[in-house]
Amino acid sequence: MKKLIISLFIVLLTISSASAQRIFLEYNIGYGTFNMSDMRHTLLKTESAVKGMKITDDFPGFLIQDAKVGFSYNRWDSGVLFGYMATGGKKSLADYSGSYKNEIKNKGFKTGLFARYCLMGQDFKLKLYAQGSVGTIFTNAKLIDEINLNANNIHEREEAKINGTNLFVQPALIIQYHIIKPLAVQAQIGYEWSPYKGKMRYEGNKLDLKADWDGLRASVGFVVYLTN
């Protein structure tokens, strides 16, 4: 997948140079929600050595970021994208004597391709785009068990690292405003869905567990045009 993206990007740059189109860099930051049904069920059903533990973090929506490199041709923008997102769940119990917790921390790293079409405002500062993105999500997760007993000065922690791969598609709408010719700000909203969710792996072995990043995506960002 990485070799394909690099090859396509080289082709994009070659086409852009040959046709004197505008190359741009883009950065977006915002908020995403995440389904994580498998992870949530696993955390809920995990047997614990301590009774009375409660869910304190239930894979909440959290910060998302992405960067894009591409070029503009008439009404079309296209290129490559890279993104990052994170969430987690925790079941815990704490009092004066100490604490105990089961925790799952997920990080998602995205690579892919995008294309968008200007629906309105091609010749104006304010533009409306429809965008589609496809690519791969690489999930790195940690399963953590930790106990702290203050009176006995006991602090123990066990950690397992697992990983998995999803394929995603994401349609979105973008409103973009050009402050000056080489600089624009934008807001976008979309929904990300993975038609393929690979099973997580631990030390090469498949687990009956998947990372489900499906959910709403909303962000703001800016675009810098490097060529006229």
**CA angle at 133 for the pair 126 and 196, rounded to the nearest 5°:** 155
195-218: per-residue pLDDT in tens?
A: 999 999 999 899 999 999 999 999
69-123: per-residue pLDDT in tens?
A: 999 988 999 999 999 999 999 998 887 777 888 899 999 999 999 999 999 988 8
CB 42 within 8 A of CB 53: no
Residue 32 to residue 102: CA distance in whole angstroms: 24
Question: What three-state secondary structure class fits 154?
Answer: strand
Q: What is the pTM of this model?
A: 0.86
144-197: per-residue pLDDT in tens?
A: 988 888 777 788 889 999 999 999 999 999 999 999 989 999 999 999 999 999
How large is the average pLDDT for residues 57-61?
Answer: 93
Partners of 27 in the β-ladder:
67, 222
Which of 3-7, 51-55, 125-129, 211-215 is predicted least confidently? 3-7
Q: Which of 29, 30, 11 is nearest to 80 (CA)?
A: 11
Q: Kindly list the distances between the CA atom of residue 104 and the CA atoms of 88, 89, 145, 153, 168, in Å, as whole numbers in the listed order.
A: 5, 5, 9, 25, 22
Domains of the chain: 2-225 (2.40.160.20)
